[in-house]
């Protein structure tokens, strides 16, 4: 009865070294103790770990010390039988003990082959560096690059193709919003989640059709061909932009050329003056038939104003007044049909002022007349209502001619025929004042002659009273008369009636520009309008550009000057609304809604 214990180990080269020892015992001790029959070196093994006892020719029994389980054929046990014929494997720590039957020389002995799991040695590498501890540079480079391309390029592109033709996308995250370069302006804020609303084709810039699908009533600035000819040749900076624009398929003269989006929340930034000045400086050299003068910057390069002036009042029956744009440099005059010296009415020292003081309590005049006593602003405050005789003149320039009881009768303004008829009716329906000697209370003087003479004269006066109307009428319509004071009267040819030449008040001189009186409400009227020195109604009291430049500078004005770009007064899209910057001011002011005002104005035009 013997055991043969074989220790198998490997050299560094992988060669096996087998050391065998024959032990003539019935029981083998297994452990770390040096005197063990099966000496296992691992420190996890107890000094005396187990005992293998032979129980027959091919049978053995393993029992562990202190019932510490070992693995026998893969199962945990503290005592187990082993059949050497079938072969049995015991695992103690990293050691493997295989029990088998001896053959040949070793016949009759039980062979215990002891192997030890090789320690897993790390592959040779630079253990000091970080390599192996962190993901490799090449691998993470690929990983990050692919991840970013997938998340920030492929996904948004996929989203783009998914949402083509969709009018409004559902709320929630859409990958192409990661491409947004900035918030949209407040007007377009509702489109923040709908990239496809404007960006409709890949690699094609936003087309006008996208804009026009909502902004359907936008007017073109001018004929497209003429605009194309009017553009100044590109300078260096433009060329850089054009190279990119052409390369990436961006059309010229598109909405987005002037209106840039994604510049941040809030009002859309006004289109810079450069876009106007590009065409409107040196325009004549490119658009030879233009009547427009060059304008580049309000402070440096803007012609004198050219208000629309009535050159001929068209006073002949059937004729219409004619108008022309005339520069204020030419000191144009116009025949409005009215005689109205502003200077006389605004004086603080003359009879007008005295009269104003007298009527002050009733009409709210001050020490003298002011502009606002006659001129009433329109509802939006931009311009002024026409002056009316009834509302603005008649409190002083009375047309009263008779009093019956407490009622004052006045001539009908604006209807000369009615005036004539009223005067005639007055002379027909009234008697001359009765002489005192004809009243019953008269004291008689001696002699009947006197009374008879008086009676005779009075009867003559009564008989001829009606014909006095002609004189009164003539007086009213001629120099010193009530009509003639203010109006130009056309003397009638024989047999015809008096004719008052029409009065034309110009509501808006600056048809191409926009002047908002409400914005200047803190200024005195006379700061700009030289009304106090105007002696004739034919003076045009529109101030020249020099007056505006007292406060308004160019686009890059600073200090006390108001920076004023083209869009402060002019409207690119040529509608009748206020220019963009003025609308913006209204919106900010909160009082008036620009859209509502535009609607009102369009309504006015309709009427």
Partner 1 sequence: MATRGAEGAESYDSASQRHAARHESFLRYRGLFWAKLASVVALLAVVSYLLVDVEPRHNGGSWYGYALGTIGALLILWLTLLGVRKRAMTPGRWSLKAWTSAHVYLGISLIFIATLHTGFQLGWNVHTLAWALMLLVILSGLFGITVYGFLPRYLSDNRDETTEEQMLATVGELDRQLREAAQPLDTRHAAIVQRALDEEVAWASVRRRLFGTRFLGTSADSLAEIRRETLLLRAPDPHLDRVEALLARKVAALQRIRSHMRVRALLEAWLYVHVPMTFATIAALSAHIVSVFFYW
Residues near partner 1 (CB under 8 A): 32, 34, 41-44, 46-47, 126-131, 133-134, 137-138, 140-149, 152-153, 156-157, 160, 176, 178-183, 195, 199, 202-203, 205-206, 237-238, 240-241, 244, 248, 250, 260, 263-264, 269-270, 272, 274
- CA-to-CA distance for 212 and 191, rounded, in angstroms? 15
Within the chain, how many helices (H) and strands (E) appear? 17, 20
To partner 1, the closest distance from the beta carbon of 145 in angstroms equals 4
Q: Is the dihedral of CA 214, 219, 221, 222 positive or negative?
A: positive
| CA count, 13 A, side-chain hemisphere, 587 | 15
Q: Which is nearer to partner 1, 137 or 573 (CB)?
A: 137
To partner 1, the closest distance from the beta carbon of 207 in angstroms equals 11
> Is residue 255 exposed (0-12), middle (13-18) or buried (19+ Cβ within 10 Å)?
middle
Q: SS3 for 25?
A: coil
Q: Which is nearer to partner 1, 143 or 187 (CB)?
A: 143
How many Å from the N-terminal Cα to the C-terminal Cα in the chain? 131
Q: Which is nearer to partner 1, 188 or 597 (CB)?
A: 188
Q: Which is nearer to partner 1, 134 or 455 (CB)?
A: 134
To partner 1, the closest distance from the beta carbon of 71 in angstroms equals 18
Q: Which is nearer to partner 1, 82 or 299 (CB)?
A: 299
For residue 603, how many other CB atoms are within 10 A of its CB? Answer: 9
Sheet with 16-23: strands ordered across = 16-23, 2-10, 109-116, 95-101, 88-92, 70-72, 75-77
Q: Which is nearer to partner 1, 27 or 198 (CB)?
A: 198
Q: Which is nearer to partner 1, 51 or 368 (CB)?
A: 51
For residue 318, how many other CB atoms are within 10 A of its CB? Answer: 5
Q: Which is nearer to partner 1, 139 or 331 (CB)?
A: 139
Q: SS3 for 132?
A: coil
To partner 1, the closest distance from the beta carbon of 249 in angstroms equals 9
Task: For residue 138, give every residue at least 6 positions away whose Cβ sits within 8 Å of its Cβ, in sequence order, or none.
Answer: none
Cα–chain-centroid distance for residue 238? Answer: 25
To partner 1, the closest distance from the beta carbon of 255 in angstroms equals 13
Q: Which is nearer to partner 1, 269 or 599 (CB)?
A: 269
Q: What letters, b where the CB count within 10 A reaches 16 and e where it falls short, cover 32-41? A: beeebbbbbe
To partner 1, the closest distance from the beta carbon of 14 in angstroms equals 20
Helix runs in 448-568, H state only: 449-464, 468-477, 525-528, 545-549
To partner 1, the closest distance from the beta carbon of 160 in angstroms equals 7
Q: Is the dihedral of CA 353, 355, 361, 365 positive or negative?
A: negative
To partner 1, the closest distance from the beta carbon of 237 in angstroms equals 5
Q: Which is nearer to partner 1, 134 or 436 (CB)?
A: 134
To partner 1, the closest distance from the beta carbon of 205 in angstroms equals 5
Q: Which is nearer to partner 1, 18 or 178 (CB)?
A: 178
To partner 1, the closest distance from the beta carbon of 78 in angstroms equals 16
Long-range contacts of 21-29 (CB under 8 A, 24+ apart): 22/109, 25/1, 26/1, 26/53, 26/54, 27/51, 27/52, 27/53, 27/54, 28/3, 28/52, 28/53, 28/112
DSSP 332-395: -B---SB---HHHHH-SSSHHHHHHHHHHHHH---SS--GGGT--B-TTSSSBPPP-IIIIITT
Q: Which is nearer to partner 1, 128 or 494 (CB)?
A: 128
Q: Which is nearer to partner 1, 112 or 206 (CB)?
A: 206
List residues bridging with 59 in a β-sheet.
83
Q: For residue 356, which phi and psi values (nearest 5 degrees)?
A: -60, -40
Q: Is the dihedral of CA 296, 302, 305, 311 positive or negative?
A: negative
To partner 1, the closest distance from the beta carbon of 122 in angstroms equals 9
SS (H, E, C) 177-232: HHHCCCCCCHHHHHHCCCHHHCCCCCCCCCCHHHHHCCCCCCCCCCCHHHHHHHCC
Q: Which is nearer to partner 1, 33 or 58 (CB)?
A: 33
* Structural tokens at position 237: 């900076």
* Structural tokens at position 167: 């009018």
Q: Which is nearer to partner 1, 159 or 534 (CB)?
A: 159
* Structural tokens at position 65: 């010390």
Per this entry, what is the length of the chain? 607
- Per the CB < 8 A criterion, the answer to whether 206 and 181 are in contact is no
To partner 1, the closest distance from the beta carbon of 206 in angstroms equals 7
Q: SS3 for 24?
A: coil
Cα–chain-centroid distance for residue 438? Answer: 86
To partner 1, the closest distance from the beta carbon of 243 in angstroms equals 8
To partner 1, the closest distance from the beta carbon of 191 in angstroms equals 13
To partner 1, the closest distance from the beta carbon of 564 in angstroms equals 15
């Amino acid at each position: 009865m013997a055991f043969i214990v074989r220790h198998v180990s490997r050299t560094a080269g992988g060669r096996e070294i087998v050391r065998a020892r024959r032990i003539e015992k019935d029981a083998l001790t297994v452990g770390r103790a040096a005197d063990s029959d099966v000496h296992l070196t691992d420190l996890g093994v107890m000094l005396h770990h187990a005992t293998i006892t032979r129980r027959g020719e091919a049978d053995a029994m393993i029992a562990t010390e202190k019932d510490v389980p070992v693995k026998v054929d893969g199962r945990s046990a503290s005592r187990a039988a082993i059949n050497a014929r079938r072969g049995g494997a015991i695992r103690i720590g990293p050691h493997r003990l295989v029990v088998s039957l001896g053959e040949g020389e070793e016949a009759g002995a039980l062979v215990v082959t002891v192997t030890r799991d090789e320690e897993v040695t790390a592959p040779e590498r630079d253990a000091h560096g970080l390599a192996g501890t962190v993901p490799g540079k090449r691998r993470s480079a690929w990983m990050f690059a692919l991840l970013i391309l997938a998340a920030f390029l492929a996904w948004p592109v996929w989203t783009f193709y998914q949402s083509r033709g969709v009018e409004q996308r559902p709320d929630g995250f859409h990958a192409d919003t990661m491409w947004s370069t900035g918030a949209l302006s407040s007007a377009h804020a509702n489109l923040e989640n709908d990239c496809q609303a404007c960006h409709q084709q890949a690699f094609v810039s936003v087309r006008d059709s996208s804009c026009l699908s909502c902004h359907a009533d936008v007017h073109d600035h001018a004929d497209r061909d003429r605009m194309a000819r009017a553009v100044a040749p590109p300078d260096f900076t433009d060329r850089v932009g054009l190279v990119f624009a052409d390369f990436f398929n961006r059309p010229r003269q598109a909405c987005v050329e002037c209106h840039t989006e994604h510049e941040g929340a809030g009002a859309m930034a006004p289109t810079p003056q450069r876009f106007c000045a590009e065409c409107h400086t040196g325009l004549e050299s490119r658009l030879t038939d233009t009547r427009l003068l060059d304008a580049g910057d309000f402070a440096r390069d803007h012609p004198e104003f050219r208000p629309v002036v009535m050159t001929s009042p068209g006073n002949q029956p059937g004729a219409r007044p004619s108008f022309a744009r005339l520069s204020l440099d030419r000191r144009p005059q116009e025949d409005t049909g009215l005689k109205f010296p502003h200077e006389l009415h605004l004086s603080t020292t003359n009879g007008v002022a005295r009269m104003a003081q007298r009527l002050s309590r009733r009409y709210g005049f001050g020490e003298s007349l002011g502009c606002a006593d006659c001129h009433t602003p329109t509802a939006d405050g931009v311009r002024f209502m026409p002056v009316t005789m009834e509302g603005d003149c008649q409190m002083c320039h009375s047309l009263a001619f008779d009093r019956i009881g407490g009622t004052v009768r006045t001539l009908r303004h604006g209807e000369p025929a009615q005036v004539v008829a009223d005067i005639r009716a007055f002379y027909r329906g009234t008697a001359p004042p009765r002489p005192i000697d004809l009243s019953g209370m008269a004291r008689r003087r001696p002699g009947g002659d006197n009374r008879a003479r008086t009676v005779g004269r009075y009867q003559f006066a009564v008989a001829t009273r009606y014909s006095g109307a002609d004189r009164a009428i003539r007086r009213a319509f001629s120099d010193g008369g009530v009509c003639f004071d203010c109006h130009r009267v056309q003397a009638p040819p024989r047999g015809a009636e008096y004719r008052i030449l029409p009065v034309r008040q110009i509501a808006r001189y600056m048809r191409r520009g926009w002047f908002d009186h409400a914005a200047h409400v803190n200024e005195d009227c006379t700061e700009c309008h030289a009304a106090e020195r105007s002696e004739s109604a034919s003076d045009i009291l529109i101030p020249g550009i020099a007056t505006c430049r007292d406060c308004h500078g160019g686009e890059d004005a600073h200090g006390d000057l108001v920076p004023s770009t083209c869009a402060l007064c002019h409207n690119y899209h040529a509608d009748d609304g206020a220019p963009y910057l003025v609308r913006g001011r209204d919106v900010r002011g909160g009082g008036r809604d620009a859209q509502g005002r535009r609607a009102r104005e369009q309504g006015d035009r309709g009427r």
